[in-house]
Amino acid sequence: MSDLNIKAELEAVNKQLKTANEVLLPQAEKALKEAREHGEVSAATKEAADKALTLANSLEVKQNALEAQLGEAEQLFKRNENNAGRPSAKTIGQTVASFEGLAEFAKNLQHGEKLRIPIQDALTTADVPGVIEPMRLPGIDQQPKQRLFIRDLIAPGTTESNALFWVQQTGFTNRAAIVPEGTKKPYSDIEFATKMTQVGTIAHMFKASKQILDDMSQLMSTIDAEMRFGLKQEEERQLLFGNGTGSNLTGIVPQATAFSSPFDPEAPVTNIDIVRLAMLQARLARLPATATVMDFLEWAKIELTKNSLGNYIMANPMNLVGNTLWSLPVVDTDEPDFRGKFLTGAFASAAQIFDREEANVIISTENDTDFEDNMVSIRCEERLGLVVKRPESFIFGDFAAAKTLLNA
């Protein structure tokens, strides 16, 4: 699909999503009102709310997918533009044979004369087939790594400051009304609050032998990758669970709203029901959820859920199309602090990451006694801040505790 076609389809989906949200909010408020007044929600109201929510969620997933396609198309165009006209490398033999002055030199060869042919851009013998050399197994056997995800869910941003300061609207009393001619207009009340969060530094260091790094460039690239992963692993913990004390970031989970079902559903309540209720809780906070994060063990239990006939209710095990629940993407994580937990929220609109300094790796030979010991010090660091604009739109809870309460 061309860039223009993606943009056109994205514009159409944005319009459909706006209409769907305008239909959904009154349905959700009606369901909440019925639950408060009568202790339950009528079947008709529940069906209408479910239908509206499913439509809005599916449109949001389609919106996110189109935005990702548009970004990939733009990056591909840029790479092709940068590589245009770049000549391909030659082997050493091809470089020598095609050298412009070689034929003239051979024709008028004199005793003791030499010809210098530059080959700095030629391929090495390791790139040329047919050359016998010691066999080396490719790659380095690395330790298994935890899959990182949270940065991909949150809106990105940049900053050039050490602190982030913003103004948040905390209240709005709408008194707009029909006003007869010649009478005073009513005043509405809007309340604001100032917020501030610090930019934190995440860093670690490593020492290595200079000879090892010189002798094996792949080892250097592996150290680079490992250090960046360690940095991003701590970044993920900070974005999720940072407690805000000292130099720590204030993560999403400590600021999130505790799960509280908007109404008492029919028992028995399952994990699937709890995620649906958490989505409704976020929707009633006026910022609909864009994704759900949960423990990978709990997600496996959901996928293995069967009906009374023994059939899987989520999907055909031979034809799984991805982790989705109620039309929203599900990220299953093996983060130990997430065991048995779930987090649903408006990741794309209610929170934002501001990068002050991108993750970078710096090598020095002048730290401590590195020069004497022929060692190098390698430092990897980054600086970033996290702004959670609407904590009430993030719903965090424990599956077991929620089921126990709702099934009582």
* DSSP state string for 76-105: HHHHHHHHTTPPPP-BHHHHHHT-TTHHHH
Report pLDDT for 201. Answer: 94
Q: Are residues 73 and 156 in the same domain?
A: no
Q: Are residues 374 and 276 in the same domain?
A: yes
Contact assessment for residue 236 and residue 151, using Cβ atoms and an 8 Å cutoff: yes
Report pLDDT for 130. Answer: 47
Cis peptide before 268 (omega within 30 of 0): yes
Report pLDDT for 5. Answer: 73
Report pLDDT for 117. Answer: 56
Q: Is the pLDDT of residue 400 over 90?
A: yes
Query: Predicted confidence band at 138 (pLDDT cuts at 50, 70, 90)?
Result: low
How many structural domains comprise the chain? 2
Q: Is the pLDDT of residue 113 over 70?
A: no
pLDDT in tens, 160-212: 999 998 887 777 789 999 999 999 999 999 888 888 888 999 999 988 888 77
Q: Is the pLDDT of residue 404 over 80?
A: yes
Q: Are residues 72 and 156 in the same domain?
A: no
Give the pLDDT mean for 276-290.
92
Contact assessment for residue 265 and residue 402, using Cβ atoms and an 8 Å cutoff: no
Q: Are residues 403 and 280 in the same domain?
A: yes
Q: What are the backbone dihedrals phi and psi of residue 69, each rounded to the nearest 5 degrees, phi first? A: -60, -40
Report pLDDT for 315. Answer: 73
170 domain-assigned: no
Query: Which residue, of 78, 97, 118, is where some domain finishes?
Result: 78
Q: Are residues 240 and 358 in the same domain?
A: yes
214 vs 263: which has the higher pLDDT = 263
Q: Are residues 57 and 157 in the same domain?
A: no
Lowest mean pLDDT of 131-145, 195-209, 255-269, 367-381, name the range: 131-145
pLDDT in tens, 114-137: 555 565 555 444 444 544 556 555
Query: Which residue, of 23, 55, 78, is where some domain finishes?
Result: 78
* 48: containing domain: 1-78
Query: Predicted confidence band at 30 (pLDDT cuts at 50, 70, 90)?
Result: confident
Give the pLDDT mean for 303-320.
82
> Which amino acid is located at 109 in the chain?
L
Q: Is the pLDDT of residue 79 over 60?
A: no
pLDDT in tens, 9-22: 878 877 887 787 77
104 vs 395: which has the higher pLDDT = 395
Lowest mean pLDDT of 41-55, 185-199, 228-242, 369-383, name the range: 41-55
* DSSP string of 134-168, one letter each residue: ----SS--PPP-PPP-HHHHSEEEE-SSSEEEEEE
342 vs 94: which has the higher pLDDT = 342
Report pLDDT for 105. Answer: 59
Cα distances (angstroms) measured from residue 53 to each of 47, 127, 186, 212, 288 = 10, 56, 35, 58, 9
220 domain-assigned: yes
Q: Are residues 296 and 209 in the same domain?
A: yes
Q: Which residues pair with 328 in a beta bridge?
A: 325
The two tokens of residue 262 are: 């908007």
17 domain-assigned: yes
Q: Are residues 50 and 156 in the same domain?
A: no
Q: Is the pLDDT of residue 346 over 80?
A: yes
Query: Predicted confidence band at 35 (pLDDT cuts at 50, 70, 90)?
Result: low
Q: Are residues 307 and 392 in the same domain?
A: yes
Cα distances (angstroms) measured from residue 91 to each of 84, 121, 129 = 21, 9, 11
Report pLDDT for 78. Answer: 55
Of 366, 359, 364, residue with least CA distance to 380? 359
34 vs 116: which has the higher pLDDT = 34
The two tokens of residue 258 are: 């505790």
Give the CATH number for residue 392: 3.30.2320.10
Q: Are residues 71 and 219 in the same domain?
A: no
Give the pLDDT mean for 301-327.
83
Query: Which residue, of 20, 52, 78, is where some domain finishes?
Result: 78
Report pLDDT for 107. Answer: 61
394 domain-assigned: yes
Of 223, 204, 222, 206, residue with least CA distance to 368? 206
Q: Is the pLDDT of residue 76 over 80?
A: no
Report pLDDT for 269. Answer: 92
322 domain-assigned: yes
106 vs 382: which has the higher pLDDT = 382
32 domain-assigned: yes
Report pLDDT for 126. Answer: 47
Integer Cα distance of 3 and 71 in angstroms: 9
263 domain-assigned: yes
Lowest mean pLDDT of 62-66, 238-242, 286-290, 360-364, name the range: 62-66
Report pLDDT for 12. Answer: 82
127 domain-assigned: no
92 vs 214: which has the higher pLDDT = 214
Mean pLDDT of the chain: 80
